[in-house]
Chains A and B, each alone.
Chain A
Amino acid sequence: MVDNKALFAERQKRYYDTIALRKTDRVPIVPMVDTFPIRYYGAKMEKAINDHGILDDLWLRFHEEFQPDIGDTPYFINGFFGISSILDFRLLKWAGHGLDDDASYQFVEDEMMLPEQYDWFLSDPSDFMFRHMFPKVYGRLAPLAKLPPITGSYYFFTPYIWAALADPDIQDAGRALAEAAQESMSTLGKMAHYHQALAEAGWPLPQGAMTQAPLDIVGDYLRGIKGMLVDLRRRPEKLLAACDKLLPHMLDLAIGNVRISGIPICFIPLHKCMDNFMSQAQFEKFYWPTLLELMRALVAEKISPYLLIEGVCDTRLPIMIRDAPPGMCVYHIENSDIFEAKKLARDKVCLRGNVPASILSTGTPDDVRGYCKRLIDEVAVGGGFIMDTAVNLTEARPENVKAMFDYTKEHGAY
């Protein structure tokens, strides 16, 4: 009988040692699963994402069949559509909610914060979030925009600001918040249950928290990509001030969740640092400093920053690798040149990636094996490499996924 406890420990050690650039027995394979199990096992997208029992079963089945080196959780995005439905989350579309029953979720970006609203955000961020962002981001919280500022409650005026709460629309927003909170508690309970089951089956989780680079928050949620990019020239001081304002919160999120999960790895997907978005000087002035400060603060807390470096960031990588706290970071390469990156990353950063989505979705198992071979030959040398897809497995052909697993396990030994 397989001892799952021992397997858990063995996998965790292989993963942590790889991140720390220590010698291991072989290259770990840890793919970003996304919605692959749903499609692969023939489940209906809309049905699965609305039933945590189905999600749990599909994911455990995937682990048993493919035997990855680290577990994957559907409680990242796929597990949260119940909450998103209650609140009518506007920055995302998913099966049955703006997309076909069979579609994977997609993010929507918008200019949520107008240029003249920087000062509001900077001077009173929670007020801006509560009375401006919540109502814009969540359809059912729209009435919160009618509330007066909470800072009006002082002196003997306190009771008066609450009169707004008698508004039936605001009461409905309150109910929505309460329902969403109940759903959140229930989802967190199910998440804990799944993570327990996963651990008992022998799989540790890949990360214990998620946060983002401050400039990505501005570009993803507040100003939108266009707004953020024009602000680089039109209002650089405000943009920098916003990043500074966000930094402590991005850090709190990471540290708080690591404390809860007990897993000292924080996932940081990078969205807006691609080579062609901005100049190198702009990258070094606007993007990198607050991200680096965030990473350093995490490392000071003994938390590993795990960066998903989306798109092509070939010109950024030398700086990102140069400044990285050694032996603490994982850089997941999407479309950048991972082979070039490896030359700089030795003894510095663990690399992860990057079997292209195009090969996995349209190529043959031989194509996949060819690419994996190159990764093992060139990037795995000396350790510090995790085999993964470039993006995720969503549209991958099953035979290609199998080829990727089999090849890595057969040929990934050190």
Chain B
Amino acid sequence: MSTWQEKRQARFEKWLEPGVPFASPETKAAYQGRVQRIIDAIELRKAPDRVPVYPNYTYFPAYAYGSLPREVMSDVRKAVEIWERFVKEYGFDAFGIIGIIAPIPVMEALDYKLYQWPGHGGVPEDSIYRYFEHDWLVEAREYDDLALDPTDWWMRQYIPRFCGALSGFTKLPNFTEFMELPNLAGFLAPFGLPEVQESLRKLMEVGSMTLEWMGAVGGLIGKLICDGFPTSAGGFAKAPFDTLSDTFRSFKSAMLDLRRNGDRMIAAMETLAPLAIKMAVQAIDGSGNPLVFMPLHKGADGFMSQAQFEKFYWPTLRQVFDGIIEAGGVPVPFAEGGYNQRMDYMAELPKGAVAWMIDRSDMKELKRKVGGNCCLIGNVPSSILHAGTPADVDKCVKELIDDIAPGGGFMLATGTVTDEGRPEMIRAMVEAGLKYGKY
């Protein structure tokens, strides 16, 4: 039995030596330099050269080159072209691709209702996608179904609701009831119903479309690595409470559930936590990058009381953290909004195990309270990026580095996710990072 530190060390080594045909010894050195810089920051070591500049954007590359999210979500070749250019020109120490993994043709084929996208469902043409608030988990008693047999709830209740093309799945039988031969015909017959067959046919079609899309994205990732750029994360996970309140229940229902159906909610979250861990670990196994990006939503100050946070939000989030850490992965939670009231929880995490992306929390206070345990990533404010000048950005970055970088454990990034933005401001941030970030 190796410790989590040993498992993580092995993953870091694999991340540093991905076994790909690098374009040249220079690109290999550049790649390894960037990865090592990030590893050093995570492990709270003073980096040998400088503070890494870490990405926090979704569709910014599209806007930066005069395209629109709608275009990159529709045309993967265009998306790949833009991303490659962006990554090579802007000089971040890692690149993110989340912005190009929502293919509109696939969502259209699925009649996908969880999100709305530009030109669909009233979202303006020049905007990004947005989540459609809805009680996909219709009644609170379904929390029990979810806890008892998550895949069954997903397959026969949840998916048919948010994928119009898969509505036939409501007719499927429960998979545990297949074993005895005398019941086999009754079990299988529903698979032959026209609506189920139609859903399965659509699904196969979607499978082929997605594979093509993923092939192109995978090719881009491979190429960028060979050219010297690491991915910003290799896996993805969410806090179980966010899964419930973002994608199962509308925000309002979730908040009411806190008071009315708390125990059911907790049982459902305890079911979701191991699933999230499994998915994240499989992803980092496959990608070779041990960082797991975790955008946090409802844990921010103001959504719930401290008591509710402690009871509902934190325990299963901590469980997911621990599961990923135990497997040698690195949770990279994005504390979107303010987390000033949550610092004590952040401070109790194992030393060097988690790297926090910070939005509007008090960085100096965080450095004092949490910086000894966790790498901090952030947080050039969107106000400056939108309304300021490049000189303002330069000043802001310098102050951040002066305050937070000493002693290591810091990466520079924007506080808010960048979509629409002024290219010159982002360039100014990266440049300032390179200029002031040297140790």
Residues of A within 8 A of B188 (CB): 83, 177, 180-181, 183-184
Are A159 and B106 in contact (CB-based, < 8 A)?
yes
Shortest CB–CB separation between residue A174 and chain B, in angstroms? Answer: 6
Q: Mark A251-267, 1 if CB is under 8 A from B, else 0.
A: 01100110010000000
Are A163 and B207 in contact (CB-based, < 8 A)?
yes
State A84–B179 Cα separation when bound (angstroms): 12
Q: Mark B176-193, 1 if CB is under 8 A from A, else 0.
A: 111111111111111111
State A183–B191 Cα separation when bound (angstroms): 11
State A193–B274 Cα separation when bound (angstroms): 48
Whether A182 sits at the interface, judged by CB under 8 Å, is: yes
Whether B200 sits at the interface, judged by CB under 8 Å, is: yes
The stretch among B8-16, B43-51, B150-158 that forms the contact with chain A is B150-158
A77/B182 contact (C-beta < 8 A), A125-B149, A246-B176, A249-B177 known: yes
The residue that A125 contacts in the complex, of B115, B175, B200, B243, with Cβ under 8 A, is B175
Q: Mark A239-254, 1 if CB is under 8 A from B, else 0.
A: 0000000100100110
A124/B150 contact (C-beta < 8 A), A171-B204, A177-B191, A185-B189 known: yes
The residue that B186 contacts in the complex, of A159, A166, A174, A188, with Cβ under 8 A, is A188
Shortest CB–CB separation between residue B195 and chain A, in angstroms? Answer: 12
Shortest CB–CB separation between residue A266 and chain B, in angstroms? Answer: 11
Name the residue on B nearest A123 (C-beta).
Answer: B274
Whether A212 sits at the interface, judged by CB under 8 Å, is: yes
Are A159 and B278 in contact (CB-based, < 8 A)?
no
Are A127 and B178 in contact (CB-based, < 8 A)?
no
Interface size class of B (residues with CB under 8 A): 35 or more
The residue that A126 contacts in the complex, of B176, B181, B211, with Cβ under 8 A, is B176
Interface size on A, residues (CB 8 A): 64
State A123–B158 Cα separation when bound (angstroms): 18
Shortest CB–CB separation between residue A2 and chain B, in angstroms? Answer: 31
A158/B191 contact (C-beta < 8 A), A83-B185, A130-B151, A184-B184 known: no
A165/B180 contact (C-beta < 8 A), A129-B175, A188-B185 known: no
Whether A351 sits at the interface, judged by CB under 8 Å, is: no
Q: Mark A182-199, 1 if CB is under 8 A from B, else 0.
A: 111101100100000000
Are B206 and A162 in contact (CB-based, < 8 A)?
yes
Whether A371 sits at the interface, judged by CB under 8 Å, is: no
The residue that A252 contacts in the complex, of B150, B177, B179, B275, with Cβ under 8 A, is B177
A249/B154 contact (C-beta < 8 A), A159-B106, A166-B211, A181-B190 known: no
Q: Which of A86-132 contact B (CB under 8 A)?
A: 89, 92, 123-127, 129-130
Are A174 and B114 in contact (CB-based, < 8 A)?
no
Query: What is the interface of chain B mostly: helix, strand, loop, or mixed?
Result: helix
Shortest CB–CB separation between residue A17 and chain B, in angstroms? Answer: 26
Residues of A within 8 A of B175 (CB): 125-126, 129-130, 134
The stretch among A145-153, A316-324, A384-392 that forms the contact with chain B is A145-153
Residues of B within 8 A of A211 (CB): 180
Residues of B within 8 A of A150 (CB): 151, 154-155, 159
Whether B238 sits at the interface, judged by CB under 8 Å, is: yes
Besides A154-B158, A184-B192, 8 other A-B contacts (C-beta < 8 A):
A83-B184, A84-B181, A125-B175, A126-B176, A150-B155, A164-B207, A165-B207, A180-B188
The contact sample of 14 A-B pairs, CB cut-off 8 A, is: A126-B149, A149-B275, A150-B151, A151-B279, A154-B243, A158-B112, A158-B162, A159-B102, A159-B213, A160-B101, A162-B203, A184-B187, A184-B191, A188-B185
By a beta-carbon cutoff of 8 Å, the part of chain A in contact with chain B is 75-77, 80, 83-84, 89, 92, 123-127, 129-130, 133-134, 137, 148-160, 162-167, 170-171, 174, 177-178, 180-185, 187-188, 191, 210-212, 217, 220-221, 246, 249, 252-253, 256-257, 260
By a beta-carbon cutoff of 8 Å, the part of chain B in contact with chain A is 101-103, 106-107, 110, 112, 114-115, 129, 149-152, 154-155, 158-159, 162-163, 174-193, 196-197, 200, 203-204, 206-208, 210-211, 213-214, 236, 238, 243, 246-247, 271, 274-275, 278-279, 282
